Amino acid sequence: MTRFTTSADGTELAYSITGSGPALILVDGAMCHRMFGPSTELASVLDKNFTVYTYDRRGRGETGDGATPWSVEREIEDIAALIREAGGSAFVFGQSSGAVLALDAATKLPSITRLAVYELPMVVDDTYPPRPADVVATMDGLIARGERSAAVSTFMKMVGVPGIGLAIMKLTPVWKKLKAVAHTLPWDLRILGDDGRGEPLPADRWTVEVPTLVMNGGKSPEYLRNTMKNAAEVLGDVEHQELPGQTHMLKASAAAPVLVEFFSRAQRAAGPIA
């Protein structure tokens, strides 16, 4: 069942709840939402241990584009609104660009009590071509001209989807779903910012004071594995795990045991309820 809550700027956010236990909020990456992406399947596995909140980020699914112009601050306020619904504190797990947003949120929101992130989509060395400096402007232009298909194609090529794969995707129903949220691509690229475009992440990018787990897949491209090593170094006192056999398309069956073990430590540390 879809529920709604109101963010600080008046935007109505669509979300769902499943399970019981400590609150855990899942933050999707680019173009994903509850009905299109990994979160709903992952929630169905994690809800044996947690009260899992999945939501449609701005411009996706049943959440509108926003009552005010987009900014990363508005998206952080959206997470804060969900935490309020969850009772005032929550664990957070973010994937891809959603992982970057989750880190940004954890820097600002003390109500996030434990954090896990998977594969920030950044390039920190010369193992993969960096994002073009003008990619946000290019995306803005394509969206302004209504060229949604071209915007999705540009993004897919940038993240390494081969030409034949792209051609096949355009013939499937998936392409229509991707075009529907194409206008959110410049927003996710702005979340990444100017960091991670071929250079190591700056030491002051995030200040996260809570227990944090950073993860990457064992079969993911070298540049993503290197990015997560660099992120762990920048964040400092965090855990870093590589999930054997996983790629950027993380499987719920592989993620769930690791997340359950990590987040459940907070309960064990708290001890039994008197």
pLDDT digits (tens, 9 = 90+) for 145-183: 999 999 999 999 999 999 999 999 999 999 999 999 999
- By percentage, how much of the chain surpasses pLDDT 70? 97
Q: Degrees (nearest 5) of the Cα angle 95, 212, 136?
A: 40
Residues 28-42 pLDDT 10s: 999 999 999 999 999
Q: At what angle do helices 185-192 and 148-158 cross, to 10 degrees?
A: 40
Q: How many CB atoms lie within 10 A of CB 33?
A: 23
Residue identified by tokens 């194409």 is 182
- By percentage, how much of the chain surpasses pLDDT 90? 96
Q: How many CB atoms lie within 10 A of CB 267?
A: 14
Q: Degrees (nearest 5) of the Cα angle 170, 176, 182?
A: 100
CA distance 265 to 6: 31
Question: Which pLDDT does position 91 carry in this prediction?
Answer: 98
Edge-first strand order for the sheet with 23-27 is 3-6, 12-19, 51-55, 23-27, 90-95, 112-118, 212-217, 239-243
Hey, what domains does the chain have and what are their CATH numbers?
Answer: 3-126+196-270 (3.40.50.1820), 135-189 (no CATH)
Residues 228-254 pLDDT 10s: 999 999 999 999 999 999 999 999 999
pLDDT band at 131 (very low <50, low <70, confident <90, very high): very high
Q: Where are the beta strands (DSSP E) in the chain?
A: 3-6, 12-19, 23-27, 51-55, 90-95, 112-118, 212-217, 239-243
pLDDT band at 267 (very low <50, low <70, confident <90, very high): low
